[in-house]
Amino acid sequence: MIRRLRRITPFQVILVTVFTALAAFMSLPIVFILNHAFKPTNELFLFPPRFFVQNPTGSNFEQLFLHATNATVPFSRYVFNSVFVVALTLISVIVVSTMAAYVLAKYQFHFKQLILSLITLSLMFAPETVGIPRYLIISGIHLHNTYLGHILPSLASPIAVFMLVGFISQIPGELMEAARIDGASHIGIFTKIVLPLAVPAIATISIFTFQGVWGDVETSTLFMQDETMRTLAFYVNSLLSGLQNSVAGQNVAAAAGLLMFIPNLIIFLLFQRKVLETMIHSGIK
């Protein structure tokens, strides 16, 4: 113990203080959104705005739920839609993208370079512009107003495959060769070697996919005309845009903002260590 203490140099003390200050600065917005949701109405409009709440109340949430029960579609329906869509999308994205990434990373075949460069190109393309063609395709194959219409568009996600290819290509090829010599089938190699080794990368893409799908309003706006098929994100968003300019809506908006934010935080805390692992490994060539 004494030896450890002696190892701490003044330089380290400075480093830790600087980092504590920076970290505090970076977490300000998160603290803000937390505090904002519990502010009573009179504090929301204080000028200059205060960071910390003085008299915390739960009335913002009360109003949010009151507002929600007055709507034509019950609040729980939106929650169910969101949870159902997110869960199914997560599972299918993981299965489909790991399979594709495994092949792209470890096999040689024609058009492989073409597919890889297409992935990189589509990463650069602004997502808004493909909205209408997607709508036409979805309505062309009669997927509007079904859960599949929520799930399928995010299924073929280029970003997930992009990250997974980078990670899986670092798994040594010798491992797979050894398994092949021992008589493992393709599916055997995939499930017994690639999947367990890619767990950190899978954790990462599941976080990113969760974030994307949970906050996504595009599928609900474009593909769902039936109000009962829309997700929580859409409901909160329409609530916000309808109430943004009115004084009365500000507190509901603050509460709704926190409500959308909490699941992200939970998922992040669950997978955080795994993500950092991936990020650190996937950069190494």
Partner 1 sequence: MNQTKAIAWQKRLYFMKRYGIGLLFLLPWLIGFCIFVAIPIGWSLFMSLHKVAVVPGGFKYDWIGMKNFKDAFVTDNVFPIELITYFQQMLLMVPMIVIFALLISLMLNQRFPGRFLYRAIFFLPVIFATGQVLSELFTQGAGEIPFIEQYNLEPLIEQYIGKQFAETIMSVLSRAILILWYSGVQILIFIAGYQTISPTIYEAVRIDGASPWDSFWKITLPASVPFISLNVLYTIIDLFTFPLNPVLAHIRDNMFKMDTGYGYASALAWIYFGFIFVLIAIVLLLFGRSVKTRRDRR
Residue list 217-276, contact with partner 1 (CB under 8 A): 233, 237, 240, 244, 253-254, 257, 260-261, 264-265, 268, 272-273, 275-276
Distance CA 128, CA 158 (A): 15
Comparing C-alpha atoms, which of 155, 166, 169, 170 is closest to residue 97? 155
Could you tell me the smallest distance in angstroms from the CB atom of residue 222 to partner 1?
Answer: 11
Choice from 215, 227, 243, 263 touching partner 1 (CB under 8 A) = 215
Could you tell me the smallest distance in angstroms from the CB atom of residue 77 to partner 1?
Answer: 20
Q: Is residue 48 part of the contact set for partner 1 (CB under 8 A)?
A: yes
Distance CA 41, CA 218 (A): 31
Closest to partner 1 by CB, 56 or 158? 158
Query: Which residues inside 133-192 make contact with partner 1, applying CB under 8 A?
Result: 133-134, 136-137, 152-153, 155-156, 158, 161, 186, 190
- Whether residue 39 contacts residue 254, with contact meaning beta carbons closer than 8 Å, is answered with yes
Q: Is residue 127 part of the contact set for partner 1 (CB under 8 A)?
A: yes
Q: Is residue 32 part of the contact set for partner 1 (CB under 8 A)?
A: yes
Paired tokens of 15: 């480093």
Could you tell me the smallest distance in angstroms from the CB atom of residue 66 to partner 1?
Answer: 21
Could you tell me the smallest distance in angstroms from the CB atom of residue 2 to partner 1?
Answer: 15
Q: Is residue 129 part of the contact set for partner 1 (CB under 8 A)?
A: yes
Q: Is residue 96 part of the contact set for partner 1 (CB under 8 A)?
A: yes
Q: Is residue 79 part of the contact set for partner 1 (CB under 8 A)?
A: no
Choice from 1, 2, 23, 181 touching partner 1 (CB under 8 A) = 23
Closest to partner 1 by CB, 127 or 173? 127
Choice from 1, 2, 26, 181 touching partner 1 (CB under 8 A) = 26
Q: Is residue 10 part of the contact set for partner 1 (CB under 8 A)?
A: no
